[in-house]
Structure formats: structure tokens, C-alpha cells
């Protein structure tokens, strides 16, 4: 936790505690101003401190991650802004002559002490269907995220709030940028970023989580090239099917040997589950469950990740995106990291395999009585309509389908993950993504064909890190330097199935936690059940083969229970209080 700003007719103050993970924060106070800065690099803090960004928002158009608040005492104004990426969050509340700002959901909840009628029921249901509530909402009414690239001004005297967008997310492809130029630009950006990280953090121990994917090849290479002392680790089950080493672990071992770095393999530990859950509920209450994606590992200082790496080309971008209809665009946006599929995990895997092997879509459906409770026609229609309105508003502003799709992906899905297990060890480690925000400016100048399927990143690896090109992809796809025909695709898939995925082990681990899940879902708390009563179906849900949904239900129920029982008090740190 870093800060809570409170402005009511009765009191005006900032509660503040300096922090250094996953980003640092500082507070500067003079007779006329008080400024709070959260970000990755101290040189960015110094730059913005010396700029009158509240008068000229163009000063905020820099390719760095930050959030900033300035209280101008003489003007009785509060100014605040998020960066283009929005990775450093600002949550705000504005109602009933009360204005709040914080980077911590629980701080605002603790001040408001919400009642049951303050719970946003639609947001809770949306959270069970999608990675997050739409679009910048939280579980509490009127508590919202400030979107990326936004500036706010609050007038203390007349209690007036103004918000405006200062950064327009829009692709403007340059003819001069082809595959070669794009690859060289990415290489330059990665080298510059590593130098800045080294300058910021010094000669500490850096680490990367290896899974065998593309980021696992890029991060060690550029870290070592720029003098960062890096080691690697992997979480998960070494041998998911007992006999063979998982594809992830095999790839990670091969990569660590290529780069000659220390490599650690951390198995999931049932004994630390409750500790991990408590940490996640405190630091990452409004995100996709990380219970089985993270384990405690402290043998390093700074984490380097590929967080939001899809901005330099995402597998998720639909083919021929500019020619699809608005309804088709809704379908694809809803499909991004969707939490609830009315389908089993096995059926989903069969569908993906068929698409990979034969490039054909097939439909296989499960049918469970309780599906209707989570996403019936009314719920589906309501969520669908919100997507339609989101798209129509942007099309009126001359946004293309690609603009709209990627803005949703980056500004809503990508911007919320700062405290994730993959991104920062659930907020326990100082961390940097090698992609966001610097790569965003670069990729907004690319043609669509340079985005689909991450071709630039693959070309970067083939050109600068060819020693890793023989290693197969993290999933069932083949090596980068080979074009697989149908026979090789089938062989690769069979090998992947035999070896198993060592880092996606919810199915294996959940059986040890099934009773814990049932206990939570059947406890005496009422608020969640008044929104969605699943108590008669808990045994069926616990046995259903869709663990992303089960874990999301579990986590959402725990968060609502904490609000109902006011147990969030335990999450509030002791802070310095400054009146203004």
C-alpha cells in the first residue's frame, strides 16, 4: 500500500506509506504543493516533478509507467494522472461530497465501510464471466479505476471532478516500417530498457520465470548482454504424468543451459496455500486467481517479465479483423481470457487441437444445470450490450476494429495485472515488463500483419538469439525455425500430451483443495449468495472439469466475504497522515 487521499467537507488529508515493490512511491511536500509519485524509474519522477504537467498534459506523453497526484494548496485543486500503460493504478471514488484516491482497493473499502447495497452485483457477475468487471468498475459501486492515459482535476472548493483522456490509443501504420525495421527497433528498445533497469536497480540479483515460451528466450539474452546478473526459475510440476519431464520444464532446462544461468525448479506446496491465498486477497483482490500459478521463492531482488507481451503481436487478434462486423468483434473481445465457458476443459482442448491441426472451428458443448445461474440469456445480453456500446462509442471517434480490440486488450486486461503472480510475485517483488510501456509506442506504428502471431518477436529470436530457435514452443507448436506440416503437427501434439504442461496444473492441485473450496462456498456469509446462490450445486461445480471458473468463483466469494465481515481491516497498513 502506498496512499489514500481523502477530501470531504469535514476533513482533507493524505495517508501515506513509502513503498518499493512492485513499484516505488515517493511523497514531496512544499508550502504550496504535495505530490505523490508511483513508478518504475526515479529519473521519470524527477522529470515530471520539474514539469507543469497539470497545465500541459502533453508532458505526460512519455513511454514510461507511472501514476502521479499533485495537490495545489493555493489553488485548492487536486490533479492526478495515469500513464499510457496504466500499470500503476489509481482508484477513485466520487459521491456524496466525498472524493477519494488510492492505489489500493482495500484502503477505499476501509474508509467507506460498504453495506450490502453498495456491492455492484453486475460487476460481480461480470467478474465470473470475464477476467475483470466491465470496464473500469470494481465490486463496490462508484469505486472505479482511472483508465490508462487519463488526467483528472478535482476542485476542492466546489467539489467538482473533471476527467479527460490525454492519450489516444490508435494505430497509425508507417509504410517505412517493415519486418526488418520493426525487428531492429525492438532490439534497440530492449537494449535501452535493460540499461535503464541496470542504472535504476544496480548490481542486484535479477530473475526471470522460464516457461519455454518466446519471452523466456528474449529476457535472459538482453539481460546478460547489458550486464544484469540473472538467474531463472519455474513453478509447477516437473512430471505431470509421473514418467516424462513436462514440456515447460524441459524447455526451461535447455534455455538455462544455453545462457549458462542458475536455474531453480519450485514445486507447488500445499502447506503454503493459505499463505498465498491471504497474500493474493490482500494485494490482488480484483484479478484472475493466481493460487496455483505462484509459489514463494525469494532468492532474487528484481523480477523481469514478459507481462503484456502480446502488444508486440498477439495470437488473439482475429484474422481479417478490419472486415469483421461489430457483433463478430464483440465475440472476439469477449473471448479474450474469458473466465466462464459453458464447457469442460477437455472439450476446450479438443476444440483448440482441431483448430491447430486443421484450422477449423468445431463446437462441443457441455450441459450443466448451474450454467444458467452464471450466464443465462439475461446476463449474456447485458454484458453483450456493454461491449456493443463500448465499440459504438469508439467507432464514432473513427477508431478501427484493430484499435478497439487492442485498446480493450491493453487498457483493461493488461493494465490490471501489476500485482499478479507472474508480473510481480503477487506484489512481493520489484518488477519490470520488457514490453510495457515502451514497446506500445513502437507497435502503434506497425501494420496489422506485423502484429498477428508475434512475427516480429519470432524474427528477433531467429536473428539475434538463433541458439534458442530449435527449442519447441511452450505449447504443442513446433520449433521457430521449422514450418510444420500436418504430420509434424500431430507428432508435436502427441509429444506435448505425453509430457504434459507443468505450469498449468490447476486440475492436479485442486483435488487437494476441494474441501477448502466447498467450505468457503457453503459458509454462513450471505452477500455473495444473495447475488448468486450456488449452494445446491457446489458438489457438481467442484467436480466439473473447468478449474479457471472454479477458482474464480472461490476467489470472488472470499473477496465479498471479506467485505461483508469487515476483515479488510487486517489489510490496512499503519501510515503517516498529512492534512492539507
pTM for the full predicted model: 0.93
For the chain, the first-to-last Cα distance in angstroms comes to: 20
Residue 252 has what pLDDT?
93
Consecutive H or E run containing 287: none
Alpha-carbon distances of 84 from 168, 191, 387, 444, rounded to whole Å: 9, 21, 22, 12
Residue 519 φ/ψ, nearest 5 degrees: -60, -45
Note if the bond before 22 is cis, omega within 30 degrees: yes
Consecutive H or E run containing 193: helix 179-201
Q: How many CB atoms lie within 10 A of CB 28?
A: 12
Each residue's pLDDT tens digit in the chain (580 positions)?
A: 589 999 999 999 999 998 889 999 999 999 999 999 999 999 999 999 989 999 999 999 999 999 999 999 999 999 999 999 999 999 999 999 999 999 999 999 999 999 999 999 999 999 999 888 999 999 999 999 999 999 999 999 999 999 999 999 999 999 999 999 999 999 999 999 999 999 999 999 999 999 888 899 999 999 999 999 999 999 988 887 767 888 889 999 999 999 999 999 998 888 899 999 999 999 999 988 988 888 899 999 999 998 876 666 666 788 889 999 999 999 888 887 676 766 666 666 666 666 666 677 776 666 678 888 998 899 999 999 999 999 999 999 999 999 999 899 888 877 888 899 889 999 999 999 988 788 988 999 999 889 888 899 999 999 999 999 988 776 667 677 666 667 766 776 776 677 777 777 677 788 889 999 999 999 999 999 999 999 999 999 999 888 888 999 999 999 999 999 999 999 998 899 999 9
Residues 6+ apart with CB under 8 A from 376: none
Which of these, 431, 386, 377, lies nearest to 408 by C-alpha position? 386
Kindly report the three-state secondary structure assignment for every residue of 129-153: HCCCCCCCECCECCEEECCCCEEEE
Q: How many CB atoms lie within 10 A of CB 332?
A: 16
Residue 161 has what pLDDT?
98
Note if the bond before 135 is cis, omega within 30 degrees: yes
Residue 261 has what pLDDT?
97
- Report the side by side order of strands in the sheet with 3-7: 143-145, 91-95, 98-102, 3-7, 12-16, 576-579
Residue 343 has what pLDDT?
67
Note if the bond before 485 is cis, omega within 30 degrees: no
DSSP designation for 14: E
Secondary structure (3-state) at 223: helix
**CB 229 within 8 Å of CB 203:** yes
Amino acid at each position: 500500500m502506498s496512499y489514500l487521499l481523502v477530501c470531504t467537507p469535514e476533513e482533507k488529508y493524505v495517508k501515506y506509506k513509502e513503498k518499493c515493490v512492485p513499484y516505488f512511491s515517493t511523497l514531496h511536500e512544499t508550502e504550496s504543493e504535495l505530490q505523490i509519485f508511483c513508478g518504475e524509474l526515479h529519473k521519470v519522477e524527477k522529470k515530471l516533478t520539474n514539469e507543469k504537467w497539470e497545465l500541459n498534459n502533453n508532458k505526460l506523453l512519455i513511454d514510461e509507467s507511472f501514476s502521479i497526484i499533485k495537490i495545489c494548496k493555493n489553488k485548492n485543486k487536486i490533479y492526478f494522472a495515469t500513464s499510457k500503460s496504466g500499470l500503476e493504478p489509481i482508484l477513485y471514488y466520487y459521491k456524496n461530497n466525498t472524493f477519494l484516491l488510492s492505489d489500493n482497493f482495500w484502503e477505499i473499502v476501509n474508509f467507506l465501510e460498504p453495506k450490502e447495497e453498495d456491492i455492484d452485483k453486475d460487476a460481480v457477475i461480470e467478474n465470473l464471466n470475464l477476467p475483470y468487471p466491465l470496464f473500469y468498475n470494481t465490486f463496490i459501486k462508484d469505486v472505479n479505476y482511472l483508465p490508462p492515459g487519463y488526467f483528472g482535476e478535482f476542485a476542492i472548493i466546489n467539489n467538482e471532478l473533471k476527467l479527460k483522456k490525454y492519450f489516444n490509443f490508435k494505430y497509425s501504420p508507417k509504410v517505412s516500417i517493415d519486418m526488418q525495421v520493426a525487428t531492429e527497433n525492438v532490439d534497440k528498445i530492449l537494449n535501452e530498457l535493460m540499461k535503464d533497469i541496470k542504472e535504476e536497480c544496480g548490481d542486484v540479483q535479477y530473475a526471470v520465470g522460464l516457461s519455454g515460451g518466446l519471452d523466456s528466450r528474449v529476457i535472459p539474452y538482453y539481460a546478460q548482454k547489458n550486464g544484469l546478473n540473472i538467474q531463472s526459475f519455474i513453478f509447477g510440476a516437473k512430471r505431470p504424468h509421473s514418467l516424462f519431464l513436462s514440456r515447460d520444464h524441459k524447455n526451461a532446462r535447455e534455455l538455462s543451459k544455453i545462457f549458462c544461468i542458475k536455474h531453480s525448479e519450485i514445486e507447488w506446496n500445499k502447506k503454503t496455500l493459505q499463505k498465498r491465498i491471504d497474500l493474493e486477497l490482500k494485494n490482488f483482490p480484483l484479478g484472475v486467481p493466481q493460487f496455483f500459478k505462484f509459489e514463494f521463492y525469494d532468492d532474487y531482488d528484481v523480477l523481469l517479465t514478459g507481462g503484456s507481451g502480446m502488444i508486440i503481436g498477439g495470437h488473439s487478434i482475429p484474422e481479417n479483423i478490419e472486415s469483421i462486423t461489430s457483433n463478430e468483434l464483440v465475440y472476439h473481445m469477449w473471448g479474450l481470457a474469458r473466465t466462464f465457458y459453458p464447457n469442460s476443459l477437455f472439450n476446450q482442448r479438443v476444440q483448440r487441437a482441431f483448430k491447430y491441426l486443421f484450422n477449423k472451428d468445431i463446437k462441443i458443448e457441455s450441459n450443466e444445470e448451474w450454467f444458467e445461474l452464471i450466464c443465462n440469456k439475461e446476463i449474456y445480453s447485458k454484458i453483450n450490450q456493454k461491449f456493443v456500446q463500448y465499440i459504438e462509442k469508439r467507432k464514432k471517434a473513427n477508431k478501427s476494429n484493430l484499435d478497439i480490440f487492442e485498446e480493450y486488450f491493453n487498457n483493461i486486461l493488461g493494465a490490471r495485472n501489476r500485482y499478479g503472480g507472474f508480473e510481480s510475485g503477487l506484489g512481493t517483488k520489484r518488477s519490470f515488463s520488457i514490453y510495457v510501456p515502451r514497446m506500445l509506442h513502437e507497435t502503434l506504428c506497425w501494420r496489422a500483419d506485423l502484429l498477428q502471431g508475434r512475427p516480429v518477436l519470432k524474427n528477433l529470436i531467429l536473428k539475434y538469439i538463433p541458439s534458442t530457435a530449435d527449442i519447441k514452443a511452450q505449447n504443442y507448436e513446433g520449433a521457430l525455425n521449422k514450418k510444420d506440416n500436418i504430420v509434424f503437427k500431430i507428432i508435436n501434439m502427441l509429444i506435448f500430451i505425453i509430457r504434459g504442461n507443468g505450469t498449468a496444473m490447476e486440475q492436479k492441485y485442486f483435488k487437494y483443495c476441494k474441501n477448502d473450496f466447498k467450505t468457503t462456498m457453503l459458509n454462513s456469509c450471505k452477500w455473495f449468495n444473495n447475488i448468486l446462490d450456488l449452494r445446491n450445486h457446489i458438489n457438481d461445480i467442484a467436480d466439473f472439469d473447468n478449474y479457471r471458473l472454479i477458482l474464480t468463483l472461490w476467489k470472488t466469494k472470499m473477496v465479498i466475504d471479506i467485505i461483508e465481515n469487515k476483515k479488510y481491516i487486517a489489510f490496512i497498513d499503519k501510515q503517516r497522515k498529512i492534512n492539507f
